[in-house]
Structure 1
């Protein structure tokens, strides 16, 4: 029988998957020995990875590229504290491999029956875990996509544009809000000038009194307020806006409340008392590839009323028409999401959550929160260092009192023992360590202080 193009014999396929599994496990077992950032450069990576796409096949040799790519990538090691980037739990990664093997288009039940039910179940697990029982939603690429969809729902709920075109609308958010909110406002045609950034208090939380004043001022000049975005964990400091007070303002003013919980919402699994008010949201973003440690990408949008999701996103034609009258068989994610083609993101959550159990994730989150407090305490004991913000979740912002902190950051990263990032606090450059890493040890936390002090000794001023 003739071999078809792209077909692979069964024996060769078994060898390929075995080799891939060996590469992955070898990589995972090596993480404790790797620097937090590779010794690499732009020209070097360009030279390594820009080969032409040849006519002739390379066959299984291509798998050996993985080791070179890994050598020049940023590894998910225990000493990585930059950004808000989770650590890529291995069972989730295995779930991603199997999801790719299944190749399901999770767009509607008729396209992927089991995958659709798995995703709807996982979404309900997430909602229940953070105290938002009864919410529905869908998985997406990340917080930026979830925030865009949440504000798309807000616009259609309060100032419909799908039928007659965009006619304005004002959105309110903290001055500490994530950059994805400004992007979403612009992409929805509301205009960046219609995003009001509300000042924060001394804990970097939105001030509800100033929110109320801004809404009143806009109404007086004939503008149309439509939505408030509250942050459940700002990207710089981890601050949590006063959700219950902001929700009261939103209800009183008939505004949509979207909570950007991409960073912090999942922490409600472990510390619900710090995140009271999540269930008051109309929509909420959450990233499982942050505090739930899943491989990227794994964002989620949760919402209270699917009617507004369908109002924003349902635009079905004959191509995707569903004929079944059964409520499950008639379900389509494309009616409640901006995506039509959708990968099986839920499988990694389904497998990882059940493999480890809920308590293990709760303990991992609590351990990260404790790491942040440990670092804050250690900073307070160092006369040359200064803590700059309260530690609400797991982000710790600090500085060296007398040396150039930007130069210190460059040296710390180059040294490769730990990886920290930066933030701007009250207009000043700050060092920042963020703990969303199930691999972090107490020794990794202690190394932040020693690495910063030693790096400071290597810079002039």
Structure 2
């Protein structure tokens, strides 16, 4: 068996890799968040031709070369909407790879399917959507695509002859995955109606109703309304209940993109009570449950709608059982056939820490966002641009001229210093620095350091 390993050799290799991981975690706070590497240097260190003769256990030395060229997500990594990598779940990932289960149907892996269906039910209950079904996905983009595929098949089936033109409605702040999904599904981006937002970047319900009425009068068919529970720029939450009322009046499917914000319902359920009105809902555990990527999820109200969209099974994949448990197949409710055992890390992480620990961590993130917004507002050299419903804070340095260009240079300077990592946004037509708190490692001191680093870097921006 030329590519197999005796178990004692495997354990030796696993132990060496675990020590690498331990060193990484021990040094995480001292590492520069942005790695000190350039493209050519990284290729020289990590690229090259594949070896004809294997390195054996010396591969650990090659793995060691990866660490200084990786981004260190310590408590001051506040860019994008990316979870911080909870370590207990990471340990379970090793076991998932060793077990190598293909999570297609119960017959293929009873344990993996049971674990995933359990995790899905936990997520649905935590969001106030008890009874919803679903499956884990690579992320919110895949979940949004699947949710809109269900909407299309439910409201304007692809096989329907002579069907009227179908329209999808979403706010001007919608995530880029929605126009991608509309294009991939053949609906066409010209049939994606961008609805105006209010001053807090939330979808305007009056504008949505007007758009729906115009399209129905013109003979077009509303397919879906996409409400956002946490816009990527500012964390705004669309008025979910009011949007659900309008969608229901016009017979449109309601999909909620909750990839960023839905899981805030664990700590702030009142802000997201309307989630239960959704027909489908995307959620990312690799954001606000701090899991390693990839760990997204699509939840849906009606499993029959999922099967209409995705079940087209040939003899090769028939399960051979009518039992509700043993006859279950994810491929009947998902776009994927081969599927990784993603659920094991989340199942392990929740059982190790308990949901209460995640509620507390999310509450800390929300508090840290409020604290940063207050600190920025109190600093004369800084301007607060947006502090939305969740944990994103957008601000910038005050300059009398060329403010956009100078703040863009400031962002590069802050990130190059390596102590704090921020991303960017455009708010009200101006360039903003953006801190997003979905990080279980962040402390009160880290929040203060954001302001200190921005002011210090600003001294060097002309």
SS, match of residue 287 in structure 2: coil
- 1:189 maps to 2:191: no
Aligned residues: 457
Partners of 2:163 and 2:77 in 1: CA distance: 43
Partners of 1:220 and 1:100 in 2: CA distance: 54
The question of whether the paired residues in 2 share the 8 Å contact of 1:247 and 1:257 is answered with yes
2:130 alignment partner in structure 1? 133
1:152 alignment partner in structure 2? 149
2:378 alignment partner in structure 1? 381
SS, match of residue 277 in structure 1: helix
The question of whether the paired residues in 2 share the 8 Å contact of 1:107 and 1:333 is answered with yes
For 1:357-396, list aligned pairs within 5 A. Answer: 357-396=354-393
Partners of 1:50 and 1:455 in 2: CA distance: 34
1:257 to 251, 254, 257: 254
SS, match of residue 302 in structure 1: strand
1:289 to 267, 286, 289: 286
1:208 alignment partner in structure 2? 205
The question of whether the paired residues in 1 share the 8 Å contact of 2:310 and 2:335 is answered with yes
The question of whether the paired residues in 2 share the 8 Å contact of 1:39 and 1:72 is answered with yes
1:307 alignment partner in structure 2? 304
Partners of 1:95 and 1:14 in 2: CA distance: 16
Change in Cα spacing, 1:163 to 1:6, as seen in structure 2 (3 Å) is: farther
**TM-score, normalised relative to structure 1:** 0.97
Partners of 2:275 and 2:375 in 1: CA distance: 32
Partners of 1:349 and 1:253 in 2: CA distance: 38
Q: Which runs of 5+ in 2 are unaligned?
A: none
Partners of 1:56 and 1:358 in 2: CA distance: 47
1:333 to 330, 333, 345: 330
2:89 alignment partner in structure 1? 92
| Deviation per residue, 1:276-323 (Å, 9 max, x gap) | 200000000000000100010000000000011000000101111111
Change in Cα spacing, 1:100 to 1:167, as seen in structure 2 (3 Å) is: farther
1:385 to partner: Cα distance: 0.8
1:416 alignment partner in structure 2? 418
Partners of 1:10 and 1:220 in 2: CA distance: 69
1:223 to 216, 220, 224: 220
SS, match of residue 424 in structure 1: strand
1:54 to 34, 51, 54: 51
- 1:72 maps to 2:69: yes
The question of whether the paired residues in 1 share the 8 Å contact of 2:46 and 2:65 is answered with no
| Deviation per residue, 1:201-240 (Å, 9 max, x gap) | 1111000100000111112222211100000000000000
- 1:42 maps to 2:39: yes
Partners of 1:325 and 1:457 in 2: CA distance: 69
The alignment's C-alpha RMSD in Å is 1.2
SS, match of residue 6 in structure 1: coil
Partners of 2:161 and 2:144 in 1: CA distance: 23
Change in Cα spacing, 1:30 to 1:164, as seen in structure 2 (3 Å) is: farther
Moved more, 251-260 or 322-331: 322-331
1:397 to partner: Cα distance: 0.4
**TM-score, normalised relative to structure 2:** 0.97
SS, match of residue 216 in structure 1: helix
1:165 to partner: Cα distance: 9.6
SS, match of residue 276 in structure 1: helix
